[in-house]
Amino acid sequence: MPTPPPPPLAVMSKDSKPWRPFTTNCCSIEDQTVFGNFSRCRPTRSQFSKNVAKLPSFRRLSFSDLSSSTSSTRINEDLAHPFGSSLNVFLLSELRAITQNFSSNFLLGEGGFGTVHKGYIDENLRQGLKAQSVAVKLLDIEGLQGHREWLAEVIFLGQLRHQHLVKLIGYCCEDEERLLVYEFMPRGSLENHLFRRVSVPLAWGTRLKIAIGAAKGLAFLHGAEQPVIYRDFKTSNVLLDSDFTAKLSDFGLAKMGPEGSDTHVTTRVMGTYGYAAPEYVNTGHLTTKSDVYSFGVVLLEILTGRRSVDKTKPKAEQNLVDWARPYLTSSRRLRCIMDPKLGGQYSVKGAREIASLALQCVSLNPKARPRMPAVVEVLERLQNLRDMAITSGHWPTTPKSNRNGVSAKGRRETRPGAYWKPSPVAPTRHG
């Protein structure tokens, strides 16, 4: 059954601005939501200065706890008390200094929020702050996101600490300037490693390690005192440290989950087309199972090496979930869609288990999707598998041959089993 089309409210575009490594291909203007069309949703300076809307409470601090004014002085006062010394409040001059005035030579990437620059903090910049490389995110006040998203990141990452969430070191709020300072993630995003031709292909063990780390990050969010719905889980928001440990970034669209007897949060549809759960796109009803769907899409990207939406493919193959779904229930058919960059070097049983898990995650029925702790449990079991298979050829997606094993084009075809042989090479946790 194909995924239901998004409602007319959502406008998709293949010309969305690429992001390295952070991205959010969406924004909201008043009551209109736009997916991935950067030219239609650029707020003005006057919109930037509008009051911040109140959101449901978040533990000890929420949007409603803060001043509705966007005055930098008042915001700094409101943020200073709850966070204390856990977050550093940087001066704009300090961040200019560590990035050489936001030099293009230090540019890590750009997207809806603005630009991200690498910087280096030495031990003399701030007492008690260790020397380290950082990523400085600079809000473009004429860009796609605004003060609300900046504040969401400060609130969520200022209070949530986990080994699989990117660490927020501090922030800057001066006049209309809004900046965020994160730990530097030297290996960039999962998106870059899966889809950029210049990168070295990720080994099977490394892909599994990344999937486990990202799943643990989501499981932590969903298991918080009040569940946090990430709402924008995708490969570009999964960042990697030097050891390929996955950490979730970009919490500008995060939302508090339902409380009490409520089963969902109703909100404007925001996220990235191709990753957003169909029931959320169609109704605006948001639950933690919406994140599970997005995780399933990323699992398929890890398996196939294909993007969630690829307009360069034939029409029937453009939506990854719709295209891959028929191949996920058969071990033999699964081989046809495995990422060719793996060179056939992956655990056959592990791939089959991940395919089955991905199929559950992208179920059209949200109740049929597993919870993230169960997803973590399944993935962790696959780390100890010792089977590896090496293929010496590509599997045709629609093989055609006669009884004598001769294809329609006159070439003799080998039986499927002949393509595969066991290998003594076992996957490792670090690929």
- DSSP single-letter state for residue 16: P
Number of other CB atoms surrounding residue 340 within 10 Å: 13
Residue pointed to by tokens 């049983």 = 349
Told to judge if 122 belongs to the known catalytic residues of this protein, a careful annotator would answer no
Residue pointed to by tokens 């409520």 = 262
Alpha helices in 23-173 (DSSP H): 45-48, 72-83, 92-98, 147-159
Return the axis-axis angle of helices 348-361 and 372-381, rounded to nearest 10°: 170
Helices (H) and strands (E) in the chain, counts: 12, 14
Closest CA to 370 of 353, 349, 385: 353
Query: What region does 83 belong to: left with phi over 0, alpha with psi -120 to 50, or beta?
Result: alpha
Between CA 280 and CA 277 the distance in angstroms is: 5
Alpha helices in 84-197 (DSSP H): 92-98, 147-159, 190-195
Q: Which listed residue (232, 250, 291, 339) is catalytic?
A: 232
Strands 265-266 and 285-286: antiparallel
Annotated binding site for ATP: 137
Annotated binding site: 137
Between CA 389 and CA 79 the distance in angstroms is: 54
Closest CA to 299 of 279, 321, 331: 321
Q: Are 272 and 232 in contact (CB under 8 A)?
A: yes
> Which tokens go with 355?
């395919």
The residues annotated as belonging to the active site are 232
